[in-house]
Amino acid sequence: MNKNISILGSTGSIGKSALEIVKKHPEKFTVLALAAGGNLETLAQQIQEYRPKTVSIKSASDLPKLKSLLGDLSNINFQSGVEGAIAVATHPQSDIVLSAIVGAAGLVPTQAAIEAGKDIALANKESLVVAGAWMMNLAKKHGVQIYPVDSEHSAIFQALANHPKKGIRRLILTASGGPFFEKYDLDLSQVTKAQALAHPNWAMGEKITIDSATMMNKGLEVIEAKWLFDLPISQVEVVVHPQSIVHSMVEFVDGSILSQMGEPDMAVPIAYALSYPNRLDRIAKFVDFTQRNKLTFFTPDHQRFPAVNLARSAVEMGPTHPAVLNGANEVTVEAFLGQNIAFTDIVKINQAVLTAYMPSSSSTLQDYIDADQWGRMQAQKYIENISV
């Protein structure tokens, strides 16, 4: 196996983990193209180490600085903006594209990669939350495989193997519960940014860590699972599993349950998506069950953390409602990180935006993008009112 890979979001936590896997297995992977945001120093280091052929950054104005960090390094096709991300996603020699740009910004380059016939290692869950039906139909049309990178969806993908869909009773997504699980004496309206970012098990980027704290991340994963595995949302359930050893489960109609387990390390689902159907050695440490001798499971507290049910409602409301929810959530999380709203305002505003939305058509990708943008603008109005 030797795969040529392109990475959308190379300086984020998923992108950096993927490059560490490449470093451990240089005989199996070649990095052809990298797209990143504004972390120029990290990107420059990646370019010097992995020597990609195409590089894109978010802003064209940053290109001179990036080039200055690289010295006399030449023979690189430098790009910027959406067009640059598309160039990375569609590199003609690439075998697989790791889609790890955070948020709806990853939607268009992921679409371009699929239309170019590239298999996708999908870490950008928003591609399916915003336009799941459209995106999965596009992948089917172009004969493209989508390999999930979320630990939960990777677990389900592994447990399902070739089992027929008619034999599935339900998918069970596990949730860590985040930093506030069972802390009933804590006033969530007073939670600080530092408290919300202190995840007990996983080291992730800020946005996904806040989503984990509100449990919106699990709500988005429920939507993603519906589309990835082509099941009604009623067959996708969530349980809280604080140890994060069981990454998710599939229950079959005969009562059997298959799970995928392992230490909480995002390198495992990343490596499996990039190397499928093979498995790589030296990825994560092994579970010592003599030390991990207590695995517990709980029903989510939907009263304190209503985000999961809000995501379910979005799917039931109509095809473009999840896009509205996604857009609103990205804006409210950013507002909380900027300390402009309270932690509990995140889901409150998301719900208000979703309730106010009047359904639009959903025949093109642009319709879903427009719904996402509407959710963002509406959420910003609520935030400004709170600030005033």
- d(CA 93, CA 87) in angstroms, rounded, equals 12
3-state SS of 46-93 is HHHHHCCCEEEECCHHHHHHHHHHHCCCCCCEEEEHHHHHHHHHCCCC
Domain boundary among 92, 116, 148: 148
Is residue 218 assigned to a domain? yes
Collapsing DSSP to helix, strand or coil, 303 comes out as coil
- Looking at residue 377, its pLDDT comes to 97
Is residue 56 assigned to a domain? yes
- d(CA 128, CA 223) in angstroms, rounded, equals 8
- Looking at residue 387, its pLDDT comes to 64
DSSP state of 286: P
Same domain, yes or no: 357 and 217:
yes
Same domain, yes or no: 100 and 170:
no
CATH number of the domain within which 352 lies: 1.10.1740.10
- d(CA 326, CA 107) in angstroms, rounded, equals 12
Global pTM value: 0.91
Phi, psi of 54 (to 5 degrees): -130, 135
Question: Is the confidence at residue 129, as pLDDT, over 60?
Answer: yes
Closest listed residue to residue 103, CA positions, set 309, 373, 318: 373
Compute CA distances 164 → 107, 154, 168, 277, whole Å. Answer: 29, 17, 7, 19
* Overall number of domains in the chain: 2
Quick one: how far is CA 213 from the chain centroid? 15
Same domain, yes or no: 309 and 351:
yes
- d(CA 247, CA 234) in angstroms, rounded, equals 20
The pLDDT confidence band at residue 341, using thresholds 50, 70 and 90, is very high
The pLDDT confidence band at residue 315, using thresholds 50, 70 and 90, is very high
Is residue 270 assigned to a domain? no
Question: Is the confidence at residue 388, as pLDDT, over 70?
Answer: no
**Burial profile 149-186: b = 16 or more Cβ within 10 angstroms, e = fewer:** bbbbbbbbbbbbeeeeeeebebbbbbbbbbbbbeeeee
Same domain, yes or no: 136 and 170:
no
Q: Can you name the residues that pair with 4 across neighbouring β-strands?
A: 30
- d(CA 205, CA 10) in angstroms, rounded, equals 13
Rounded to 10°, the helix 321-337/345-356 angle is 150
Is there a cis peptide before residue 277, judged by omega within 30 degrees of 0? yes
Same domain, yes or no: 173 and 116:
no
Rounded to an integer, the average pLDDT of 182-192 is 90
Which structural domain range is residue 101 located in?
3-148
CATH number of the domain within which 107 lies: 3.40.50.720
Is residue 276 assigned to a domain? no
* Percent of the chain scoring above 90 in pLDDT: 84
198 and 209 Cβ atoms separated by less than 8 Å: no
- Looking at residue 384, its pLDDT comes to 92
Same domain, yes or no: 201 and 348:
yes
Same domain, yes or no: 245 and 353:
yes
Domain boundary among 103, 125, 148: 148
Q: What is the edge-to-edge ordering of all strands in the sheet holding 54-57?
A: 77-80, 54-57, 29-35, 3-8, 96-99, 119-122, 146-148
Same domain, yes or no: 10 and 119:
yes
Question: Is the confidence at residue 176, as pLDDT, over 60?
Answer: yes
Q: What is the pLDDT of residues 200-259, one digit of tens each?
A: 777 677 888 999 999 999 999 999 999 999 999 999 999 999 999 999 999 999 999 999
Domain boundary among 148, 171, 204: 148
Collapsing DSSP to helix, strand or coil, 99 comes out as strand
Q: Looking at beta carbons, which pairs linking 20-26 to residues 24 or more positions away fall under 8 Å?
A: 20/267, 21/267, 21/270, 21/271, 21/274, 21/280, 21/283, 22/50, 23/49, 24/280, 24/282, 24/283, 25/280
Rounded to an integer, the average pLDDT of 175-199 is 90
Rounded to an integer, the average pLDDT of 36-63 is 94
Same domain, yes or no: 112 and 222:
no
**What are 27's two structure tokens?**
């005989």
Is residue 36 assigned to a domain? yes
Same domain, yes or no: 140 and 213:
no
**Which has the higher per-residue pLDDT, 103 or 272?**
272
- Length of the chain measured in residues: 388
- d(CA 174, CA 298) in angstroms, rounded, equals 10
**What are 38's two structure tokens?**
């504004």
Rounded to an integer, the average pLDDT of 352-357 is 96
Rounded to 10°, the helix 267-275/151-160 angle is 50
- d(CA 19, CA 26) in angstroms, rounded, equals 10
Is residue 277 assigned to a domain? no
Is residue 279 assigned to a domain? no
Mean of all residue pLDDT scores within the chain: 93
Is residue 314 assigned to a domain? yes
Same domain, yes or no: 292 and 330:
yes
Same domain, yes or no: 194 and 311:
yes
